[in-house]
Amino acid sequence: MTAQEILESRYGSPQAGNFESKWMTLWEVKKEFTWFPKKTIYIHKDFCELLKGAFKDLERLNLHTEIKFFDGCFNIRLVRGSKTVYSIHSWGCAMDLNAAENPLASEGVWSREFINVMVNHGIFCGQNWIGRKDPMHFALVNG
Ligand SMILES: [Zn+2]
């Protein structure tokens, strides 16, 4: 199954009428993590829980300082370069961080320690992809 098929089977289509009321939440991220560059994030509840755990560990290890810019989460759109495949952002299950220094198809500049914390919390990192990397991209599923 593709990452999109996994999300579709778990949560249904993000364009379904009840998707947002059922799965999305407004996370007041700055209340818990004062260092985060955005006050609130509209995000999938399950992805939010993973990130909360990861952010606590990043903070404990003083790796949270690598996060400088929030560059988007929920956005119903196609994968860049595709005409048919919806982005994981369409389900609110992906977050882009530090996009300017981690452009699509670049190697990415996150430290190995930072990426390891994310991965240990079950978060997939575009910097780890083989082929076209998307190092700004962190997601609930591998896509
Ligand atoms: Zn992304």
Q: How far is the CA of 57 from the centre of ligand 1 (A)?
A: 22
pLDDT at 80: 87
Q: What is the pLDDT of residues 25-69, one digit of tens each?
A: 999 999 999 999 999 999 999 999 999 999 999 999 999 999 999
Number of domains in the chain: 1
Rounded percentage of the chain residues whose pLDDT exceeds 90: 99
Give residue 108 CA to ligand 1 midpoint distance, Å: 13
Q: Is 62 helix (H, G, I), strand (E, B) or coil?
A: coil
Q: How many residues make up the chain in this entry?
A: 143
In Å, the largest CA–CA distance within the chain is 41
| CATH number of the domain within which 113 lies | 3.30.1380
Q: How far is the CA of 94 from the centre of ligand 1 (A)?
A: 6
Return the closest-CA partner of residue 74 out of 37, 48, 35, 105: 48
Angle made by CA atoms 133, 90, 66, in degrees to the nearest 5: 45
Mean pLDDT in residue range 77-96:
95
The residue range of the domain holding 48 is: 3-139
For residue 60, what pLDDT is reported?
98
- Tens-digit pLDDT profile for residues 98-129: 999 999 999 999 999 999 999 999 999 999 99
35 in Cβ contact with 5 (< 8 Å): no
